[in-house]
Amino acid sequence: MTEAELYTVYKGVPMSARMHSPQALKHFEEFSFRSDDILIVTYPKSGTTWTQEIVPLIMSGGDPASVETVPNWRRVPWLEIGRSYTFNLEERPSPRMLATHYHYNMMPSSFFKAKPKVIYVMRNPKDVFTSSFHYYGMASFLENPGPQSEFLNKFLDGKVMFGSWFDHVKSWLNAEDKERIMYISYEEMIMDLKDSVARIAQFLDKSLDAEVTEKIAERCLFKNMKQNKMSNYSTAPPELMDQTKSEFLRKGIAGDWKNQLTVAEAEYFDAVYEDKMKDVKCKFVWD
Query: Which active-site residues does the annotation give?
Result: 101
- The contact mask relative to ligand A3P for 126-165 (x = CB under 6 A, - = no) is -x---x--x-------------------------------
Can you tell me the distance from the alpha carbon of 187 to that of 253, in angstroms, rounded to the nearest whole number? 8
Sheet holding 181-185, edge to edge: 97-100, 38-42, 117-122, 181-185
Nearer to ligand A3P, 29 or 256 (CB): 256
Please tell me whether residue 171 binds ligand A3P under the rule CB under 6 A: no
Please tell me whether residue 116 binds ligand A3P under the rule CB under 6 A: no
Nearer to ligand A3P, 8 or 246 (CB): 246
Can you tell me the distance from the alpha carbon of 14 to that of 102, in angstroms, rounded to the nearest whole number? 11
Nearer to ligand A3P, 126 or 276 (CB): 126
Minimum gap (Å) between residue 278 Cβ and ligand A3P: 26
Kindly identify the residues of this chain, within the stretch 186-225, that bind ligand A3P according to CB under 6 A.
220, 222, 225
Can you tell me the distance from the alpha carbon of 212 to that of 142, in angstroms, rounded to the nearest whole number? 39
Please tell me whether residue 124 binds ligand A3P under the rule CB under 6 A: no
Can you tell me the distance from the alpha carbon of 49 to that of 186, in angstroms, rounded to the nearest whole number? 11
Minimum gap (Å) between residue 82 Cβ and ligand A3P: 16
Kindly identify the residues of this chain, within the stretch 232-261, that bind ligand A3P according to CB under 6 A.
249-252, 256
If binding means CB under 6 A, how many residues of this protein chain bind ligand A3P? 19
Nearer to ligand A3P, 156 or 241 (CB): 241
- The contact mask relative to ligand A3P for 31-70 (x = CB under 6 A, - = no) is -----------x-xxxxxxx--------------------
Minimum gap (Å) between residue 35 Cβ and ligand A3P: 26
Nearer to ligand A3P, 37 or 53 (CB): 53
Minimum gap (Å) between residue 49 Cβ and ligand A3P: 3
Judge residue 252's burial from the number of C-beta atoms within 10 Å of its C-beta, 0-12 exposed, 13-18 middle, 19 or more buried.
middle
Minimum gap (Å) between residue 101 Cβ and ligand A3P: 8
Q: Which residues bind ligand A3P (CB under 6 A)?
A: 42, 44-50, 127, 131, 134, 220, 222, 225, 249-252, 256
